[in-house]
Amino acid sequence: MMHSPLRLHSTDATGDMVIHLIATKGDIARIALPEALAAKLKEKVGKDELVYVIPSENGTTVVVKAKLEEETSYRNQAYRALGAKLCKLLNTDGATAATLLNTGVLNKDYVLQLCEGMALANYQFLTYRTGDKAKPNSLKELMVSDPSIAQDDLAEVTHLVAATCIARDLVNEPPATLTATELGKRVMALGTQNRFEVKVMGRKRIAELGMGGLLGVNKGSVEEPAFIVMDYRPDNAINSSPIVLVGKGVTYDTGGYDIKHGGNMRGMKCDMAGAAAVAGAISAVAANRLPVHVVGLVPATDNRIDGKATVADDVLLMMSGATVEVQNTDAEGRLVLADALHYAKQYAPELVIDLATLTGAAARITAHHGIGMSADKAPQKELLMKSGEEVYERMMEFPLWREFHDAIKSDVADIRNMGGAAGGNITAATFLHYFTDYPWIHLDIAGPSMMETESDYRLKGATGVGVRLLYRFMKNYSID
């Protein structure tokens, strides 16, 4: 359940809570607030490097967004961040509705980004809170008075934010609730809601397909595995072969017999953030009816321990027919993804993009600021990177040098699921690369998938990273 969705409406009227958008040379934005609200802001915010309060010539208090770098990605992000600050201010004041008034002085895109930041910041996950802690945000409705912005523009933002919050909800769910089977049920509901097809395969069909990676990771679990297939195929699709999205769906990762230690098991409910991103992205694409044929694949299981669990030194027979020596049971994500990547071959895909919270090595490089990326034979890579800059889900590319292929050679099987200690994020990508023969991009989202502290519209907990990136890529792809 998505909590506190913000309804966005285009309007010609203005109410009491009117926020005037004022463009001023040298500033990213000036925003005139109702005087009582501005006074509260002055008390609570004071002055920092981004937002401060000054009196204007007519006595109205004005919030000024300080000038940042000229790069488009930073400027776009500044408007989203400003929207998040406004959202929090309005909720603190108990406002239920507000109107953004723009008389054409600000670019349409900047206004929409401000709305996006407000809507994303209004998210709450209240399912397991009680009493006063379950209190929803007061802000329910945002009207936009701008002659250049139509209701369809705001509907697109609404659908995209809703899809991002769907992904946040899935990742924020505790593992006892969101099993692989439950994940399949929730994706089925999303398909019904947004008009795309969903098929959920259980253990029997997974075994018939020979998905030894998925079954091998699932051996220690009391929960059934699932393989989830999503298919959004509009009649006006511009691509004859689909773009396939593959999301890692490890609903909880103990590490298996190579058990996580030192507190590293906490937060491992986020190990299905790739699956959540794929479900959210296809929901957004379908809700906004983009003319792109997209398929989503999610191999889902948890990674736990019992007497039957896979151990290091085991050898798994994958769906592709390749054999894999397991050297570390905590390198399980690449095992389930490998089967899904092989399954994708049947579509003769134009492009395959996988998303996974795959390695701590990638997270240590990008932190929560970006995504680790590797690619092969993918001319769409530049468009994806451009889309990432636009939504501020940026990528750092890592190479697939042949030396890394040497690092995953096995003495007893075709390959092994671990390389050396160095370059762990690259050897993980190299392992996945072994199972591809099509244009392919790998996204390691381990860094930005969860936030330990709040950062503007990225609240503490799940971020929904990947949804906005993939949606923007699909939109850019459809109009290029």
| pLDDT reported for residue 106 | 81
Phi-psi domain of 219 (left: phi exceeds 0; alpha: psi -120 through 50; beta: other): alpha
Give the global pTM.
0.94
Domain with CATH 3.40.220 in the chain: 7-149
The pLDDT tens digits for 325-365 are 999 999 999 999 999 999 999 999 999 999 999 999 999 99
198, 165, 201: which is closest to 295 by C-alpha?
198
Task: Say if residue 155's pLDDT is above 80.
Answer: yes
Phi-psi domain of 26 (left: phi exceeds 0; alpha: psi -120 through 50; beta: other): left
The pLDDT tens digits for 74-131 are 878 888 988 898 898 889 888 999 999 988 778 899 899 999 999 999 999 999 999 9
What secondary structure does DSSP assign to 272-297, as a single string?
GHHHHHHHHHHHHHHHTT-S--EEEE
List own/partner pairs for 36-45 with CB under 8 A and 24 or more apart.
Answer: 37/89, 37/90, 37/93, 37/95, 38/62, 38/63, 40/89, 40/92, 40/93, 41/89, 44/89, 44/92, 45/85
Half-sphere exposure of 285 (CA within 13 A, CB side): 34
Per CATH, is 160-479 categorized as 3.40.630.30?
no
3-state secondary structure of 174: coil
| pLDDT reported for residue 82 | 84
Q: Which of 168, 186, 334, 475 is catalytic?
A: 334
Domain with CATH 3.40.630.10 in the chain: 160-479
The topology (CATH level 3) of 7-149 is Leucine Aminopeptidase, subunit E; domain 1 (3.40.220)
Does the active-site annotation cover 205?
A: no
The pLDDT tens digits for 164-175 are 999 999 999 999
The pLDDT tens digits for 56-66 are 555 555 565 54
Q: Which of 108, 260, 289, 345 is catalytic?
A: 260
Q: DSSP E strands: which ranges in 26-140?
A: 29-32, 51-55, 61-65, 97-101
Please provide the size of the chain in residues. Answer: 480
| pLDDT reported for residue 447 | 94
The pLDDT tens digits for 439-468 are 999 999 999 999 988 888 899 999 999 999
The pLDDT tens digits for 180-206 are 999 999 999 999 999 999 999 999 999
Does the active-site annotation cover 44?
A: no
**Per-chain mean pLDDT for the chain:** 91
CB 294 within 8 A of CB 287: no
Q: Cα(195)–Cα(216) distance, rounded to whole angstroms?
A: 33
Pairing mode of beta strands 18-22, 97-101: parallel
Pairing mode of beta strands 29-32, 141-145: unpaired
